[in-house]
A = this chain, B = another copy of it.
Amino acid sequence: MKKIAFMAFMAFSNAVMAQTWIWYPGDMDIWTGNRINNLRTEDGGFFPVFWRTDGHCQTVEFSKTVELAEAEEVEIAAEGRYSVKIDKRYQFGMPGKVGIPKGKHTIKIAVNNIVSPPAIWVNGPTIKSDDTWTVSDYATAERSDTWLGIDGKPMFDRIDRRPSGYRLPVTAVAPAKKETHGREIFVDFARESMGYLMLNGVKGNGHVNVFYGESPDEAHNKRRAYLRDKIVFTADSITDMMTMTVTHRTADRDYRLPHSRAMRYALIECTGNVSLSGVTLMSEMKDLGKKYRGSFTCNDTLINRIWDVSAYTLHLTDREVMIEGIKRDRWMWSGDAIQSYLMNYYVFMDAPVVRRTIWALRGKDPVKQHINTILDYTFYWFNSVYDYYMYTGDREFVQRIYPRMQSLMHFVEGRLDSRGMVQGKKEDWVFIDWSPEKMPKGGQLSFEQIVYLRSLEAMSLCAGVAGNKSDSTEYHKRAEKLKAQLIPMFWNDSRKAFIHNVEKGIQNNYVTKYANMFAVLHDLVDEKRKNNILNNVLTNDSIMPITTPYMRFYELESLCALGKHTHVLKEMRGYWGGMLSEGATSFWETYDPKEKYPQRLAMYGHPYGKSLCHAWGASPVYLLGKYYLGIKPTKPGYEAWEAAPCLGDLKWMRGDVPAPNGNIHIEMTRQMITIYAEGCGGGTLSFKSRTRPKSSYGTPVHEGDGQYRLKIEPGKKMTVKYKEMK
């Protein structure tokens, strides 16, 4: 692993926080993650996650010692039952205002809240709740925490912005199409959406049954629509039959259903004498600004549509936390999440949602099982912290999460085999990917060792950021040791590829793409072996094909890393273009052109089990940003970065990639590159040219084979005239 200079850099540094609601680190994230995970229903039944749900700390104590030149009165609020103790004396009840005398005093606010994380708000002339307060669960004292928004400012900066009340904004959307057949209304909102249906002009008493659909077929299937609601109206009451929640019926004729659902279509059925005048969708989506920070436009309108629909797909799943799909699971899955994060860095740079999802996936100690119960998903979790630090440079978060990285790694270490390698235990799910052939999962899997190796590197990097030098050195050693075993153990010289696994010391004569792709991506093999992998594995039709967009993410990424840009554009036009030609308004969980509607909607034994808005379907935004616009950080938080733009078969392209504090804008034709970066460090532009290029400043360095390199200064527009290689 490359040595990285550990210096505080730009955003996310340990700056003094403005006044805000505060709580015990991680608790609001874990609690919110649970709230979101618990929204899943199937056929109208509550469908919980099948891994352990951790809770927040029920009782915590916030404390601060102040030295006051003048007495002051402070306003106090809390989420939960609380008490205020000034020095050694309790105040009566739950005081909203407390006087603190002049001089040195210790304020302790104890809060108990079983329902949501204990949190406080304190506001006085000089005393304010911020991250200088200590918070203790009575076992571990920590610096208190809060959430910052995308703008880097506290999200809960007013007494009436209570953290547990955080919800995404809603906007009214009228149906694009509405059909009435007798007691049924069928609506189409024109594209995949998420939100609350509003029943308008409700009159009379009876049941209203709602059947949602990502497809018309699903919405019309009253017996098996994946998502359904049933509301009973009487003269006095309105009952949500799913949760048996009864509310008072008022004179208001508009009723918003209590559950936010994924839909493009909905069928609303009225029974009894209840009637509606219409329905509205209260679309619930995160406000990510008028325009996404990342952008991509080129001469190919299909690619442009693919980018747009990918970004929209990602937007729908970028919510309180990043979820994998909006209809079916609505859960955080570590393997899906790491891809969402990477895509996010190229479109929204929504760092807060990444932090929240990382905390929420990790949960509390002790570690009792792999993340989502999946061996690989534990390793993706580590790797996602690595990526997060590289893209954002957020040292503060790494320092806060490092103890949880340690305890998760101790869990992993307790399960290593005699070679120091990872293997799935009986209770672990060794996933890798859904695949058309049955994949061996026993013994040492080459793929799992590579993601584990990357986790050791993440440990070493983050230990350094957290100031734990001995861990940093130790994990670096372990990573090097494991790396040295990979080729002897898994490389097969006759297959000229990494084999899939070793069982009882014997190489299985079976090659899959997984380990080979990751070896390329993590630069674990030399150029010769990379070529072997390209020819013998990645472009070899006898190797089991990848059918999920999940692993296609890495497959296409490794092809890009191997310079196959034109090939990858063709794949995009076929695969994602194929979904668009079938009418997709967001990208799907899986796609097989041979499967026909409505049979292709089925998955996991449910006729509408397939998710038609799945985050991992949005990978083009990542590929186009990182490998075509060609931009990535080379030091944490874009303190240094590289642009290696590549058109593939495009004639021109232009776009923006968000760095934490500014954008990198790039334009490229076959003769000209323009680049402008702000809010980040110096960059390097790499490109090929048939002739010596002319730059607006600096001197292009020729590195052989027509490869040139140029230094880019932030805030200074670079224009390069060059000649594209054939």
A62-106 interface bits toward B, Cβ cutoff 8 Å, 1 = contact, 0 = none: 000000000000000000011111001111111000000000000
CB-based contact B47/A90 at 8 Å:
yes
CB-based contact A369/B139 at 8 Å:
yes
Assess whether A59 is interfacial by the CB under 8 Å rule: yes
Copies of the protein in its oligomer: 2
Q: Which of B42, B81, B84 contacts A90 (CB 8 A)?
A: B42
Minimum Cβ distance to chain B for residue A106 (Å):
15
Q: Which of B46, B82, B230 contacts A82 (CB 8 A)?
A: B46
Assess whether A368 is interfacial by the CB under 8 Å rule: yes
Minimum Cβ distance to chain B for residue A338 (Å):
22
Assess whether A48 is interfacial by the CB under 8 Å rule: yes
List, in ascending order, chain B residues with CB within 8 A of A112's CB.
38, 46, 48, 53
Q: Which residues of A (43-61) have their CB < 8 Å from a CB of B?
A: 43-53, 55-59, 61
* Stretch in A239-247, A641-649, A660-668, A697-705 with 4+ CB within 8 Å of B: A239-247
List, in ascending order, chain B residues with CB within 8 A of A244's CB.
93-94
Assess whether A366 is interfacial by the CB under 8 Å rule: yes
Minimum Cβ distance to chain B for residue A513 (Å):
32
CB-based contact B91/A243 at 8 Å:
no
Tell me the bound Cα distance from A140 to B368 in angstroms. Answer: 9
Most chain B beta-carbon contacts within 10 A, residue among A93, A137, A242: A93
List, in ascending order, chain B residues with CB within 8 A of A58's CB.
34, 53, 55
Tell me the bound Cα distance from A243 to B85 in angstroms. Answer: 16
List, in ascending order, chain B residues with CB within 8 A of A88's CB.
605
List, in ascending order, chain B residues with CB within 8 A of A230's CB.
92-93
Assess whether A110 is interfacial by the CB under 8 Å rule: yes
Q: Which of B43, B55, B110 contacts A48 (CB 8 A)?
A: B110
A31-47 interface bits toward B, Cβ cutoff 8 Å, 1 = contact, 0 = none: 00010001001111111
Assess whether A138 is interfacial by the CB under 8 Å rule: yes
Tell me the bound Cα distance from A85 to B356 in angstroms. Answer: 31
Tell me the bound Cα distance from A665 to B228 in angstroms. Answer: 66
Q: Which of B43, B83, B366 contacts A45 (CB 8 A)?
A: B83
- For A46, the closest partner residue in chain B by CB is B83
List, in ascending order, chain B residues with CB within 8 A of A365's CB.
366
List, in ascending order, chain B residues with CB within 8 A of A44's CB.
90-93
- For A35, the closest partner residue in chain B by CB is B114
- For A241, the closest partner residue in chain B by CB is B93
CB-based contact B138/A47 at 8 Å:
no
CB-based contact A92/B34 at 8 Å:
no
Minimum Cβ distance to chain B for residue A239 (Å):
10
Q: Which residues of A (91-131) have their CB < 8 Å from a CB of B?
A: 91-94, 110, 112, 114-115
Interface size class of A (residues with CB under 8 A): 35 or more
Minimum Cβ distance to chain B for residue A119 (Å):
15
**Given A58-B55, A93-B230, A115-B115: A81 touches B46 (CB 8 Å cut-off):** yes
List, in ascending order, chain B residues with CB within 8 A of A84's CB.
45
List, in ascending order, chain B residues with CB within 8 A of A94's CB.
46, 242-244
Tell me the bound Cα distance from A90 to B365 in angstroms. Answer: 32
Tell me the bound Cα distance from A135 to B61 in angstroms. Answer: 33
Minimum Cβ distance to chain B for residue A673 (Å):
53
Tell me the bound Cα distance from A55 to B30 in angstroms. Answer: 14
CB-based contact A45/B138 at 8 Å:
no
**Given A52-B137, A368-B139: A43 touches B89 (CB 8 Å cut-off):** yes
CB-based contact A52/B139 at 8 Å:
yes
List, in ascending order, chain B residues with CB within 8 A of A115's CB.
114-115
CB-based contact A242/B93 at 8 Å:
yes
Minimum Cβ distance to chain B for residue A36 (Å):
13
4 interchain residue pairs of minimum CB distance? A45-B90, A44-B92, A45-B83, A46-B83
A sample of 29 inter-chain contacts (CB < 8 A) reads A38-B112, A42-B90, A43-B91, A44-B90, A44-B93, A46-B81, A46-B94, A46-B110, A47-B83, A47-B90, A48-B61, A48-B83, A48-B112, A49-B59, A51-B138, A52-B137, A53-B138, A55-B58, A55-B114, A81-B243, A88-B605, A93-B230, A93-B242, A93-B243, A93-B244, A115-B115, A139-B368, A140-B368, A366-B366
Q: Can you add 12 more A-B contacts, CB < 8 Å, to A44-B92, A45-B92, A47-B90?
A: A34-B58, A38-B81, A41-B83, A43-B89, A43-B90, A44-B91, A48-B83, A52-B137, A53-B112, A92-B230, A93-B243, A114-B114
